[in-house]
Chain A
């Protein structure tokens, strides 16, 4: 909407009128609609064009509407309007999606994608606002729009589209000056994106920021952030306290936590299965799965600590696994698991195939989890 030409816009108005589409027509004439941000519609003398395309009284009305845009060139007071409408747009798109789904029509994600296209145009307009001074710049709209777009992209599973938004905001000089609420939301999504890309360190930073700066009264939001922060922290070796889990009603994680720190594969498997639906719906199941690796590492570390030697027979690990009631594993698979741990840097050592032993380094053979990638 923010990139169409005046002729296209007028054509749309005409069609809306012709088709008696009052709702759409209202949008086209409302300041709430993103088209207000379109510099191509900011004509000083739109009358002639309007008259060409539209009948009275619409021509005059639209001309007046377009005239009003003039004052927007170097101002950004329309931003709150834009925010309101983009929010509504996203919500409406969501509802439209659900309606369509109920009727079994339309592609999933279609409405949301359309909404996203609209928002993206607005974003471009804001991002490219170089004319106005910093106080009047439309750049202030960038973070809000990004946040709205993030929500859509996460919903329709097109996370790669987040990248240009993140890049744009990172390179902007305003990035630390947006409102705290916006920054919290922004970091939350950037953190989740990083999680998705398996960049756990940056993910932890973003999500921690988000969690700590989230207003303490927004329990729901804090809980949401925590749902993503917890797996990341656990992968980095930091287990949450039971008190924390209780406070935010996230007891689904308690068994998981226990299992991982004890190296208890069976408990982990059960915990993940028990709350599988919850984890899958939150989109963290796959990440939590990776905790299995951490669990193996913890278990094998115990073996090492028990045997007190640097040359560990592979059988010892097999026994440990069997004790944890992991039955269907053979020595080959043990080697495979160890190979992975070594390759990932969780164990410093090597396997002697000939001697069927794991030889670990004398120094720090099991480096702390936080120091590993």
Chain B
């Protein structure tokens, strides 16, 4: 059932745009995004244009609006806007804007969503306060010699955030030589990035020069063109809110310019010049895709140094403190990828949970482990010391795991441990082993696969896990079903499911191999259930012998013990007969 949400197609576009990002990004993973790039492009472009147009309208708000890029450099018209789906930033941006813009439509319920674009996005009182970074171009108020004669400092409060401070002089006032200098600078640029950089540097330079008046005095023809030096510290790189997401196989797009002001309501954002223009620039022409930045490494280093961060150069140390969990494998870590080769020659070894990579001299190689296994088996047979046997088995398992050994021998080890656990009645340890075996059998089926599959089925009956039981049934091949143990387990399961206690206990007594150890775990429970039904059904009385044979008791005494333990009462005339009516009451109470 997919959610039949009625929604604005804008959501869909945005979603598509984002989905296409994950698609194009996940070169190593596969995702389900089925939308074509073309669809996304047009969708994204539409959105771009929407914002672009609206943004245009708002430009007029800025009195001291600084110059768009196309003042210096002719720009292609809007319709050439090219949105690279690889520049995730724009999509994120749009989503922000979309989402924020929609925030103020009053929604009685979120469904159905009927969006009206009556309000231009952003003109509602959405707060999108971006922290203000100090601009590198600080026009400090008042210093008389900063102004050429005739100009007076305005009474404006020149705060850094005010756009008015940024360019006190319009280009008409610039000395011609300076204008030419600017032209040369931009002509020297080859890529969008170059232009961005240049613009930034120029701003600073020109501002300074204009402020202190040297703009009119220096020889611009000899002024060196700005080059991209490493000395440009990061604080001077104005923030770019487009996320610079690096991908494994691609270089980073260095976003430039001030994108913060998207021309949203409120002029405080200022420095609009960079933002919109840069956005346009970003999209202009195919150069937008040129991510190559020759100085990236250098910048990276300087950044790292600045922030005292160490780029990780050594591989991570693997921690393996969960080696013996029931599932056996730790997330992301596989001993098969970096196994150890052991050299220890001791047959026996005590078990310690590992918290880090073990020393190979403490790990036994396989040929030693074979001997270890024999030793444990022998010890168990003669001494029946479960604690010892379990510990030894665990240490053998551990040595196999850290050496990445998943072979027939491993299967043998787990089968052995499982059987020992069954004998002892340790169903938790048994379950651990059988879970491992299930995985191991995929690549190393042993001749006992039927036996252990049967045990698994019985275990699910014990835990009343019908979910896993069903799953197990799904994967039973006809060959497995024909296996003696599996067939028995299936029959037992069917009898149990239908409450056919007669058949259930008959099968119990016929259990092959070690199945009865497992069934023992829930025999008592099933007997109780059966007894309740029996005692309710039969009137007036019932011979104990019937119960004994029906419920699979080996002898009369054990049956009697069971019955009396549950408060069953017997007829006065014949103590070998159960008084069913009164027993019903006492059973219900127990």
Footprint of B on A, CB under 8 Å? Answer: 17-18, 20, 22-23, 25-26, 29-32, 45, 47, 55-58, 60-61, 63-65, 67-68, 70-71, 75-81, 83-84, 87-88, 91-92, 95-96, 99, 104-107, 110, 135-136, 140, 144, 147, 157-159, 177, 179, 181-182, 184-185, 188, 196, 215, 221, 224, 280-281, 283, 285-286, 289-290, 292-293, 332-333, 335-340, 342-343, 350-353, 359
Contacts and interface: CB of A to CB of B under 8 A. Distances in A.
B22 A80 contact: no
Given A80-B113, A91-B32, A350 B498 contact: no
A243 B550 CA distance: 45
Contact of B239 (A20, A60, A144): A60
Interface in B119-153: 126-131, 133
Contact of B243 (A45, A58, A80, A351): A58
B312 A18 contact: yes
B131 A60 contact: yes
B243 A26 contact: yes
Contacts of A75: 103
Nearest to A138: B110
B247 A20 contact: yes
B47 to A, nearest CB: 14
Interface string B242-279: 11111110000001000010000000000000000000
Contact of B501 (A60, A184, A336): A336
Interface in B54-106: 88, 92, 95-96, 99-100, 102-103, 105-106
Contact of B241 (A60, A159, A285, A339): A60
B4 A181 contact: yes
Nearest to B131: A47
B240 interface: yes
Interface of B: 1-5, 7, 11, 15, 18-19, 21-22, 25-26, 29-32, 88, 92, 95-96, 99-100, 102-103, 105-111, 113, 126-131, 133, 234-235, 237, 239-248, 255, 260, 303, 307, 309, 311-312, 327, 329, 331, 334, 442-443, 466-471, 473-474, 494, 497-503, 532-534, 536-543, 546, 549-550
B5 A83 contact: yes
A38 to B, nearest CB: 16
Given A18-B311, A60-B130, A81-B99, 12 more contacts: A22-B245, A22-B248, A31-B95, A67-B128, A78-B99, A81-B11, A140-B111, A224-B1, A338-B537, A343-B499, A343-B536, A353-B542
A340 B539 CA distance: 15
A140 B110 contact: yes
B238 to A, nearest CB: 8
B537 A350 contact: yes
A23 B500 CA distance: 56
A57 B537 contact: no
B18 A32 contact: yes
B110 A57 contact: no
A84 B14 CA distance: 11
Given A67-B128, A157-B467, A184-B1, A26 B255 contact: no
B243 A61 contact: yes
B109 to A, nearest CB: 7
A310 to B, nearest CB: 14
A104 B18 contact: no
A293 B92 CA distance: 60
A307 to B, nearest CB: 20
B540 to A, nearest CB: 8
A57 B539 contact: no
Contact of A353 (B96, B126, B241, B546): B546
